[in-house]
């Protein structure tokens, strides 16, 4: 093996599987929001599944879930990369993404969130705890309910960094 040194600010990419999710929330003003997050991973599975999101504390979705104590993570597919890019390039602080982008969506089953149609699945979560490190909020959630198509992982899209995406079985 020939190794090259990786600059420290890029080291996170070495372990960023980037299984992309769309964080879906509702704010105290009643407006729904959604934002992509590539930094999401499992935290526990017994007796229930838990997950971790790393969200910038400036995001509207972060403010929403801190306030409401609940959120959903939806699993976008390869066909939804455009939706991911659009929802990731505007903030719900000053824009209504669902209305502006005319995103078809349905209600989550047990938390108050809108799930975009066409996702491979989604997990509905109760907020367990947040640990703030700098401007990053490490958000821990307990899964209350989940639904997905069979073999959902095959349909998911992954994001490593700007311009570098991949999906199971192809080089997106
Ligand atoms: C592919 C992609 C992945 C992203 N991953 C994250 C992430 O893991 N954590 C984060 O805080 N922001 C992430 N972002 C940025 C937010 O999605 C973006 O700033 C969004 O506009 C926040 O919207 P909000 O203010 O409505 O919550 C990502 C954006 C894109 C396009």
56 in contact with ligand 1, CB cutoff 6 A: yes
Whether 82 and 158 have beta carbons less than 8 Å apart is answered as no
Cβ neighbours of residue 3 closer than 8 Å, sequence gap 6 or more = none
What is the tens place of the pLDDT at every residue in 14-32? 677 778 999 999 999 999 9
38 in contact with ligand 1, CB cutoff 6 A: yes
Q: Sort 102 into a burial class: Cβ within 10 Å, 0-12 / 13-18 / 19+.
A: exposed
Q: What angle do CA 71, 77, 78 make, to 5 degrees?
A: 145
Ligand 1 centroid from CA 26, angstroms: 16
Give the pLDDT score at 171.
47
Residue with tokens 């997950």: 51
Ligand 1 centroid from CA 151, angstroms: 26
Task: State the first-to-last Cα distance of the chain, in angstroms, to the nearest integer.
Answer: 27
CATH homologous superfamily of 8-166: Electron Transport, Fmn-binding Protein; Chain A (2.30.110.10)
63 in contact with ligand 1, CB cutoff 6 A: no
Q: Kindly list the domain boundaries of the chain, sorted by start residue.
A: 8-166
According to DSSP, the β-strands at 21-26 and 70-74 are antiparallel
pLDDT at residue 72 above 50? yes
Q: What is the mean pLDDT of residues 156-167?
A: 92
Residue with tokens 């570098």: 164
User: How many C-beta atoms surround the C-beta of residue 71 within 10 A?
Assistant: 29
What is the tens place of the pLDDT at every residue in 85-121? 999 999 999 999 999 999 999 999 999 999 999 999 9
pTM: 0.94
């Amino acid at each position: 093996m020939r190794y090259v040194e990786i600059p420290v600010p890029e080291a996170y990419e070495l372990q960023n599987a980037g299984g992309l999710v769309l964080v879906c929330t509702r704010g105290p003003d009643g407006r729904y929001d959604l934002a992509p997050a590539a930094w999401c991973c499992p935290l526990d599975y017994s007796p229930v599944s838990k997950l971790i999101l790393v969200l910038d504390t400036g995001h509207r979705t972060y403010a929403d879930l801190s306030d409401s104590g609940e959120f959903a993570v939806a699993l976008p597919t390869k066909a939804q990369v455009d939706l991911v890019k659009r929802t990731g390039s505007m903030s719900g602080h000053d824009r209504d993404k669902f209305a502006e982008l005319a995103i078809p969506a349905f209600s989550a089953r047990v938390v108050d969130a809108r799930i975009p149609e066409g996702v491979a699945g989604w997990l509905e979560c109760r907020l367990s705890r947040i640990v703030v490190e700098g401007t990053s909020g490490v958000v821990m959630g307990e899964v209350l309910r989940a639904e997905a198509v069979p073999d959902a992982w095959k349909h998911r899209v992954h994001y490593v960094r700007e311009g570098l995406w991949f999906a199971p079985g192809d080089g997106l």
